[in-house]
Chain A
Amino acid sequence: MNAPTRKIRHFPPSSAWRETLMLLGIAVILAAASWLVRTPRLPLQADLELYQLELGVPVITAAQAVPLYEAGIHVFVDTRDDAFSRETIPGCFVIRQSTFDADLREVFDFLAQDDPLILYGDGNLVLVSPVLERLKERGYTELQVMRGDPDSFRAAGGELSPPLEPEAAP
């Protein structure tokens, strides 16, 4: 009996491209078929506003936040880790994810659980959300998030205060 022999298959570069395009084509067809038969059908164009609703609280623009600030009813909460060393919204409280418990203790006596709070960060809602979730857990109910950062607030006509404690900057 002959011993097994090994044969080498040769792949010209063009065959790799053909294979890649073929697999991609199969995937596109399957994805399209899956999309067509599935109900409810995911719209092809996403509304990014909807994704912000996952925060479970109203998301307002800086332009909407400025009149609320001027009305003086809402409390603004800066969630940036370096909030003390940066310009911020005057009169804000600082509650950061990294030092949440200590920060909340600092302002606890001045914050009622039904005070309307507007949280903001550096423009990334994902970074605001951990603070938001923990405030919810502590019973704060009137929460909103401002999209954008203090610069957006200034661009919308608001004023900023100098860094709260410049020497506290790391």
Chain B
Amino acid sequence: MNDSAAARGILLPDWLELIVRFLVGGTFVYASFDKILHPADFALAISHYRLLPGDLLHVFALLVPWVELVAGLGMILGFARRGASALVTAMLVMFVAAIVSALARDLDISCGCFSTKGGHAVGLSLIFRDIALLAGAVLLWVCRGVRRSF
């Protein structure tokens, strides 16, 4: 192993990196399906947050699920992994901010995270879950890519 290179970043054991990639990436891929199939319902779920103007609501509802899918797949497959980690990190920060904002305004709404109809109500547990995912995404972002060669 090149020690000077290792010193420039965190080295995760292969198995741990794989688990984190599948957990975080898989969560995003799974979360994207229902939203891609039902963009109007997802737009409705987003509208409950009362954060986006009408000009952005549908564009956001159409685009975000595909970003989730592409970033999640990138993370799982190891394709453009740092870019995927960056996108997942940015989305999670955005989701946490939206949930905190909803809680601060006492909004009694469902989060729209996995299912466009019903689903979890916004609450602290959702923030903890997103922060756990965020930790995984950041870990993948800062860790150096390691590949075995034979």
Contact A48 B149 (CB under 8 A): no
**Residue interface bits A64-94, CB-to-B below 8 A is 1, else 0:** 0000000000000000000000000000000
* Contact of A19 (CB < 8 Å), options: B59, B80, B148: B80
A26 at the interface (CB under 8 A from B): yes
How many Å lie between the Cα of A47 and that of B58 in the bound state?
10
B22 at the interface (CB under 8 A from A): no
Residues of B contacting A23 with CB < 8 Å?
67, 70-71, 74, 80, 83-84, 87
Residue count of chain B within 8 Å CB distance of chain A: 49
Q: B residues touching A (Cβ–Cβ < 8 Å)?
A: 1-2, 5-6, 8-9, 11, 36, 39-40, 43-44, 47-48, 50, 54-55, 57-59, 61-63, 65-67, 69-71, 74, 80-84, 86-87, 105-109, 144-150
Q: Could you pull out 22 A-B pairs where Cβ atoms are within 8 angstroms? A: A4-B148, A6-B148, A10-B5, A10-B144, A11-B82, A11-B144, A11-B145, A16-B86, A20-B86, A22-B80, A22-B83, A23-B71, A23-B83, A23-B87, A28-B66, A31-B67, A34-B62, A42-B39, A42-B43, A46-B57, A51-B43, A124-B105
Task: Knowing that A19-B86, A42-B39, A47-B54 touch, tell me 18 more A-B residue pairs with CB under 8 angstroms.
Answer: A4-B150, A8-B11, A8-B146, A15-B82, A23-B87, A30-B69, A34-B36, A34-B62, A35-B62, A38-B39, A42-B62, A44-B59, A45-B54, A48-B57, A54-B44, A124-B50, A124-B105, A126-B107
